Amino acid sequence: MTNKNYTLFIIAFLMFNISSTPIQSQTIIESDILYGSLTNESSPYIINKFITVPKDSILTIEAGCKIIFQDKAYLLVNGRISAVGTKSQNIELKGGGKWDYQPIYLSYHQYKNERFASSFKYCKIDSLASILARHDVIIDSCLFKNCQLGIYLEEGTIQVRNSVFHDNYIPLRLQGMSSVNNCLFYNNENNHRRGGVIEIYAFGESKFSLKNNTIVDNKSKAIYIEYSNGEIEICNSIIRNNSGSIIQNNFHDVVNVRHSNIEGGWKGEGNIDEDPLFVDPQNGNYHLSWSGYPINDNSKSKCIDAGDPFSGEDSDGSVSDIGALSYFQEDFEKIPMAYFSADTNFISIGETVMFNNNSLFLEKQYTCFWDFGDGNTSSDKNPSHTYYTQGSFDVSLFITNSNGNLNKLIYEDYISVVTEINDEIVNGTWSKEKSPYLIKHNIEIQENNQLIVEAGVRAIFGKDVKMNINGQLLCNGTPTERISFISTDRYWDLKPEKLNWLGWKGIVFGENNDQATASTLSYTDIQYTKNYNTTWANNYYSAIMIKNYNGIKIEYSNITNCLTTNRNYYDDRYAGGITCIDSKNVTIKNCHFENCKSEYGGAIYATNSDLLIDSCSFLQNGALNGTSIFLEQCDFSFMNNFVSKNNYFSIEPNNVSSCGTIAVRSSNGKILGNIIDNNYNKNEGGISCRGSNLTISSNYISNNSSKYSSSGIFSENDSLIIVNNVINNNRQGTGTSQWGGGMFISDSPLCYIVNNTITNNFAVEGGGGIYLSLSDKVVTKNNIIFNNKPNNYQEYKKYSGSQSEYIFSNNYLNDPHFLSYETNDFDILSSSPCIDSGDTNIDDFEFPFQDIIGNQRISNLIDIGAYEYQEINTGLNSARLEDEQIFSLLLTKGNIYLKSNFTSSEIYTISLWDIYGRKIMSLNQRINTHLLWITSVRKTPSLSILTAEKNGKVIWSEKIIR
């Protein structure tokens, strides 16, 4: 059988390799103003100077034309350009390969309609510096090669489809609304560490759609994302054999990757990590292969029919393939797609469930196989099944057609055989044997009563149900048998635009003054609470609400996918995760908060309380103010926490009055030993404090960003001690009147900034490292302040009334000889001029005895910066693999490295775990170096485990003790 791969790309490859005939004549464009039509008869055209297409004018380039841009040529398009070739007559835009100018500049105009977009179709763009676009543009069926920056969308929108990009430096840079569909990218080379084949730099809330693309064999990262606050969808795409897959420098975006083939794997619906089985990639043929067609055997690329079934069909009528070049299936028979539903998800022992087969593409004969999860199966089309065992069960449906094509669908914990709680008053014990429990109405533990929840219990709460605790709740989970409190809607989708969320109300702890009878939650997971209303009513809760309470302890628990939001958020402030009001002795320790959202404090909001938040992780939470934490009028310690990828969120999408990942107001507290990394807010991206008395010490505050103001530490009217911190690569957006990228201190009565390392930060106006404004007294001493933009330090003093006293002395602003610039290891080398150069002469200030990682400071001879120099300890343990391959650990006092005595092109998964089995970080990596940086020591708990996996099997592990 002949395999036909009908696609525009075959035509494209053919047409772009047609040999050109010798030039018989040429037309040099003499005028400075150009509009109207460039005809094929007068081609080729020479542009050798600055030429303008006027506003409201159109330059039309006819099919078959060739335009040559000579040195210093420049085409400024204030109107629009229409360069539309045909399959047989393409348009050629040829440059001289000099990249110090932009030969085509599509300037800004106000029209936001496809009618007014510039368009390029069936064009060959060769050796141009760039097409720089500031108005809408359409690119269709084009070839870009040997370009410095193929397309740079600075403003407007762009549609790129059915095009090929190869042998460019940067094929695409996008800063506006973009769709890139059915495009092939190969052999491009962008070797900058912050760059990729497709670069997304979006300041704003733009949307980017990348569908059915093949990005392979590039000497650069496939997709690089930075500074964006947008939504990025990657669907039906192949991303393999590049120097990196999808890199997010700042995790401020919603990145949805689904039904794609990503080397090293990527979490998301329908994603795979498989060899695409291209036809001939060495010669640029990236079609999918299936030599055994139509037999469903191992010769079939795993990308065929593996795309999103709802994204549209391929031209042969089959389910969309993954990648730009689909496989055409002659006499195609649609492969079935398994889908099913049930008449109920919650039953009692002995009750029956009716299952409905809703599968797609069942025109011909097929067979069904059901697995009900309790050891029973069925081959009926729409079976019924009776459950006689307590528990939650996975249900699977396998559909096979007459050609042996198989498709399956598995729903985890789909059917729950429950113990239903019918009483409103509860006490005693919820046992694992009777789990799961179903609660359809509000329940209460009354005063002087106790409810014990055993390890392994699962409690399922119905819509709008809450649990009131006026007595004592003891949740006694274990690391291996956790307790779970969850909503009946387990496939709930947390999106701001959905107004009909399902979910339960959460746990409300009422008044308790006796610490001895306080409740505890250990190893308990709380998920999918919803407290949402578009009115101004005051009826809101959180996943955990604590009010007038003494002594509650929450430890080793996960609070995830919880939402609280209302329009009256200025007066009624509640967190998505934990709200604490008028309480004391509150301990939140070793907990994990993820995807919790609210207006104030996405994960935790507290007022007029004293609390300890220790060794917790805060990931991808969101709020208008305090994307992870908001504390006001509190006495607190916030220590040893990991705070990352938290983002601005508001039910009012245009609200720009926002501040901080960790927001502190009118409080006394300590922020110690935390990692605050890769967070975003419209204002004040990192720590935001006002009217407080704080010690901020031994933190890593890095890679945070904001649109309008300081991204590291923002302070207004605070008394502060800021000591032993690394403040690195915090950045502001592109607004005006912005100062203090690393640190902004305003109206402070007294502030000490001592022994910090402040580097690589950016502010728009000034004070990239530190900006001081209108404060009474600020002492800035013994700091490394290096390589901040536009300058390291700037101050603005009070000149009326009591004048400012700024003491700026003994700081080092030149190269301090960091241990590693590449891995952001800001320990100092033995050659550093900062060693023994510190000054301890500061009135009324007590120097800390230790540096940022616990090394002893030496009296009177301390170093400048956050680190005290120590000899590097090489270490430690090693393990031997098959074929004499050896992994071992190298621990410096700042970083963890993986050493190997071999290199390999195979992918290894390197993961770091805490002792409770929670993954701290993971990377998929070829062993292409003998020394692989893993992470900073500060990002690890006191005891952790590093593992290496190959082909899904753990082949090496080692404990790390610090």
Do 437 and 414 touch, CB atoms closer than 8 A? no
Instruction: State whether 388 and 440 are in the same domain.
Output: no
* pLDDT of the residue at 103: 84
238-240 vs 261-262, strand pairing mode: parallel
Judge whether residue 712 has pLDDT over 90: yes
The whole-number pLDDT of residue 524 equals 97
Q: Which of 228, 214, 366, 184 is nearest to 301 (CA)?
A: 214
Considering only 159-173, 328-342, 551-565, 864-878, which range has the smallest mean pLDDT?
864-878
Using CA atoms, how far apart are residues 261 and 278, in angstroms rounded to an integer? Answer: 13
The DSSP bridge pattern shows strands 450-453 and 428-430 to be parallel
Burial class (CB in 10 A: 0-12, 13-18, 19+), 855: middle
pLDDT of residue 310: 78
Residues 448, 383: one domain? no
Task: Identify whether residues 453 and 384 lie together within a single domain.
Answer: no
Within-domain flag for 338: no
| Whether the predicted pLDDT of 15 surpasses 50 | no
Domain boundary among 416, 438, 468: 416
Same domain, 553 and 636: yes
* pLDDT tens sequence across 298-341: 999 999 989 988 777 788 778 899 999 989 888 776 778 888 99
Q: What pLDDT does residue 713 have?
A: 96
789, 914: one domain = no
pLDDT at 572: 61
- Residues 48 and 30: their CA atoms lie apart, in Å, by 9
160 inside domain: yes
Choose between 887 and 572: higher pLDDT: 887
Residue 309: the pLDDT is 81
Look up the domain containing 762 and give its range. Answer: 430-828
Is 296 contained in some domain? Answer: no
Give the pLDDT confidence score for residue 877 in this predicted structure: 42
Query: Is 390 inside a domain boundary?
Result: yes
Q: What are phi and psi of 486, to 5 degrees?
A: -145, 165
- Is 327 domain-assigned? no
Q: Please tell me the predicted confidence (pLDDT) of residue 815.
A: 96
CA distance 306 to 335: 10
Same-domain pairing of 612 and 708: yes
d(CA 703, CA 77): 37
Residues 496 and 579 in one domain: yes
Specify the 3-state DSSP secondary structure of 139.
strand
- Find the range with the poorest average confidence among 212-226, 342-356, 916-930: 916-930
The whole-number average pLDDT for the span 795-810 is 84
Is 333 part of any domain?
no
Opening angle at CA 913, ends 911 and 916, nearest 5: 155
- Is residue 766 within 8 A of residue 794, CB to CB? The reply is yes
Same domain for 396 and 438? no
Shared domain check, 887 and 804:
no
Q: What's the token pair of residue 194?
A: 């912050």
Cβ atoms of 713 and 697 within 8 Å: the answer is no
* Percent residues over pLDDT 70 in the chain: 84
How many domains does the structure of the chain reveal? 4
Q: How much is the mean pLDDT over the chain?
A: 85
Answer yes or no: do 925 and 787 share one domain: no
Which amino acid, 196?
Answer: G
The CA distance from 887 to 738, in Å, is 47
Read off the pLDDT band of 376 (50, 70, 90).
very high
Of 68-82, 214-228, 853-867, give the range with the top mean pLDDT: 68-82
- Name the domain boundary from 221, 252, 276: 276
> Does 944 or 286 have the greater pLDDT score?
286
Question: Which whole number is the average pLDDT over 926-935?
Answer: 67
- pLDDT, residue 875, reads 36
* Same domain? 936 vs 810: no
Residue 371: both structure tokens together: 């697995």
Q: Out of 260, 276, 292, pick the residue that ends a domain.
A: 276
Is 943 inside any structural domain? yes
Average confidence (pLDDT) over 341-358: 94
Q: Span 279-293, mean pLDDT?
A: 93
For the cut 80, the answer to whether the pLDDT of residue 254 exceeds it is no
| Domain presence at residue 297 | no
Least confident of 171-185, 310-324, 448-462, 657-671: 310-324
What pLDDT is stored for residue 404 in this prediction?
Answer: 80
Query: Taking a C-beta distance cutoff of 8 angstroms, is the pair 250, 678 a contact?
Result: yes
Residue 871: what pLDDT? Answer: 65
Predicted pLDDT of residue 732: 82
Close Cβ partners of 813 (under 8 Å, ≥ 6 residues apart) = 785, 786, 792, 793
Q: Tell whether omega for the bond before 790 is within 30 degrees of 0, i.e. cis.
A: yes
Q: Is the pLDDT reported for residue 874 higher than 60?
A: no
Please report, for the domain that includes residue 354, its CATH number: 2.60.40.10
- 772-798, pLDDT tens digit by residue? 998 999 999 999 999 999 999 999 887
CA torsion angle 173 177 180 185 (round to 10): 10
Q: Domain of 514: which CATH number?
A: 2.160.20
Q: How far apart are CA 81 and CA 54, in angstroms?
A: 11
Cα separation, 710 vs 767, whole angstroms: 10
Cβ(701)–Cβ(667) under 8 Å?
A: no
Which amino acid is present at 906?
E
Separation of alpha carbons 575 and 544, rounded Å: 9
pLDDT band with cut points at 50, 70 and 90 for residue 881:
very low
Contacts of 645 (CB under 8 A, 6+ apart): 251, 252, 619, 620, 678, 679
Task: Provide the CATH number for the domain around residue 883.
Answer: 2.60.40.3080
Q: What is the pLDDT of residue 457?
A: 97
> Do residues 18 and 56 share a domain?
yes
